[in-house]
């Protein structure tokens, strides 16, 4: 999976050009996919320092935001079912199926192993569940990041109002 730092390095590139008629000054630019920011005159060292700082800050932001969406993109790349992008029902049925498989593994652990689950087995089934969650979000035109953020916002709000316990979707 691509790290924020790798992506940031691709997005921001420092461009230093010697300023005309100047022995020591440099034009500093940050070259991005969306255009070129021509910043100001200064030394090459200042330009590189600015670019490094911008890269680091962008990498931090990307690392906070991207992993879920990157996973969602990767899930999409491995999707094989009819009418991808217009087949919400398929993904919902898939989630129900994989949730059932997860429950089945738990049931068998209770029956055969005193309720002790094999973590590796559960990781695989949970991953299958996650894959369908990601694909349902894609079918709905949502990012996983949005789904997660809205869920966190909802739970924080309930905690603040002391209504985490209880029932009802819109409490």
Q: Are 143 and 137 in contact (CB under 8 A)?
A: yes
Only one of the segments 12-20, 28-36, 70-78, 124-132 lies at the binding site for Mg ion (rule: CB under 5 A); that segment is 124-132
Which residue in 46, 101, 109, 142 binds Mg ion (CB under 5 A)?
Answer: 101
User: Is position 25 an interface residue for Mg ion (rule: CB under 5 A)?
Assistant: no
Facing residues of 30 across strands?
14, 37
The CB-of-131 to Mg ion minimum distance in angstroms stands at 9
The CB-of-168 to Mg ion minimum distance in angstroms stands at 32
Under rule CB under 5 A, which residues in 128-167 are in contact with Mg ion? 128
Only one of the segments 21-29, 37-45, 91-99, 104-112 lies at the binding site for Mg ion (rule: CB under 5 A); that segment is 91-99
For 170, phi and psi rounded to 5 degrees? -110, 35
Only one of the segments 22-30, 34-42, 96-104, 163-171 lies at the binding site for Mg ion (rule: CB under 5 A); that segment is 96-104
CA distances from 147 to 84, 137, 155 (A): 20, 8, 12
The CB-of-98 to Mg ion minimum distance in angstroms stands at 5
The CB-of-127 to Mg ion minimum distance in angstroms stands at 8
Give CA–CA dist 102/109, Å, rounded.
11
Closest CA to 30 of 50, 45, 44: 50
Residue nearest to Mg ion (CB): 128
Q: Which helix (H) or strand (E) holds 138?
A: helix 119-139
Facing residues of 60 across strands?
none
| Binding interface with Mg ion (CB under 5 A) | 98, 101, 128
């Amino acid at each position: 999976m691509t790290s924020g730092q790798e992506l940031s390095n691709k997005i921001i590139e420092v461009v230093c050009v010697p300023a005309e008629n100047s022995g020591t000054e440099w034009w500093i630019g940050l070259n991005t996919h969306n255009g070129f920011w021509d910043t100001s005159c200064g030394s090459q060292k200042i330009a590189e320092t600015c670019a490094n700082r911008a890269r680091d800050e962008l990498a931090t932001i990307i690392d906070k935001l991207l992993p879920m969406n990157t996973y969602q993109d990767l899930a999409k790349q491995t999707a094989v079912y009819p009418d991808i992008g217009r087949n919400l029902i398929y993904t919902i049925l898939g989630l129900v199926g994989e949730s059932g498989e997860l429950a089945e593994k738990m049931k068998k652990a209770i029956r055969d192993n005193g309720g002790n689950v094999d973590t590796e087995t559960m990781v695989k089934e949970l991953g299958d569940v996650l894959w369908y969650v990601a694909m349902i979000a894609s079918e709905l035109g949502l990012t996983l990041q949005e789904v997660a953020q809205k869920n966190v916002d909802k739970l924080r709000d309930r905690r603040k109002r002391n209504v985490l316990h209880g029932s009802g979707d819109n409490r």
